[in-house]
């Protein structure tokens, strides 16, 4: 079994959280680039993770504030999977990962940083991305800034949508 070491996540876990729900507040602000929102669908939006496990780590998030998958209309379920597929294709085209982790963390003990608003993570993975730096040095290597990655992904997504 391979482990994804992310000791830097403790900074987020221990940080003081603003009141409200970031997944409700961010799309309402209409500042997509600043808030790292890459795409808006009918039921969900795609946002980059501000505390990524790897470059290109993004999430598919419903606009509706819900902590569970139960009670979703089939259109909502379908769009979440379609957007996850779009994210995988986008990352394949722009960052060429060797694989992916996709997952929904439900509840605090399930790993959710925002436990009351469900979201799906799409994490690109490369051979060797759990090298000695995070394991021995408690240091992660993120080779590109969030804004540069956002611009690269947004430009490629705009090109994909034209086709």
49 neighbors 35 (Cβ within 8 angstroms) = no
22 in Cβ contact with 50 (< 8 Å) = no
Query: Active site includes 121?
Result: no
Judge contact between 6 and 51, C-beta under 8 A: no
Q: What phi and psi, each to the nearest 5 degrees, are found at residue 47?
A: -130, 140
Are 148 and 22 contacting, i.e. CB atoms less than 8 angstroms apart? no
Dihedral of CA atoms 85, 115, 152, 144 in degrees, nearest 10, equals -130
In angstroms, rounded to a whole number, what is the distance separating the alpha carbons of residues 151 and 80?
23
Please pick, among 44, 57, 117, 119, the residue that the annotation labels catalytic. 119
- Within 10 A of 88 (CB to CB), how many other CB atoms are there? 16
**What is the full DSSP assignment across 12-36?**
HHHSPPPSS-HHHHHHHTT-TTTTT
Residues taking part in catalysis: 119
């Amino acid at each position: 079994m391979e482990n994804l070491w992310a000791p830097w996540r403790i900074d987020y876990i221990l940080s003081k959280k603003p009141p409200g729900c970031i997944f409700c507040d961010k799309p309402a602000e209409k500042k997509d680039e600043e808030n790292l929102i890459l795409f808006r669908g009918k039921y969900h939006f795609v946002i980059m993770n501000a505390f990524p496990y790897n470059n290109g780590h993004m999430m598919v998030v419903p606009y509706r504030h819900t902590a569970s998958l139960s009670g979703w209309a089939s259109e909502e379920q379908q769009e979440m999977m379609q957007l996850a597929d779009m994210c995988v294709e986008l990352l394949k085209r722009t960052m060429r990962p060797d694989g992916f982790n996709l997952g929904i963390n439900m509840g605090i003990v399930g790993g959710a940083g925002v436990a009351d608003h469900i979201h799906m993570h799409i994490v690109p993975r490369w051979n060797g991305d759990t090298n000695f730096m995070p394991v021995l040095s408690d240091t992660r290597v993120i080779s590109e800034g969030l804004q540069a990655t956002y611009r690269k992904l947004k430009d490629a997504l705009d090109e994909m949508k034209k086709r």
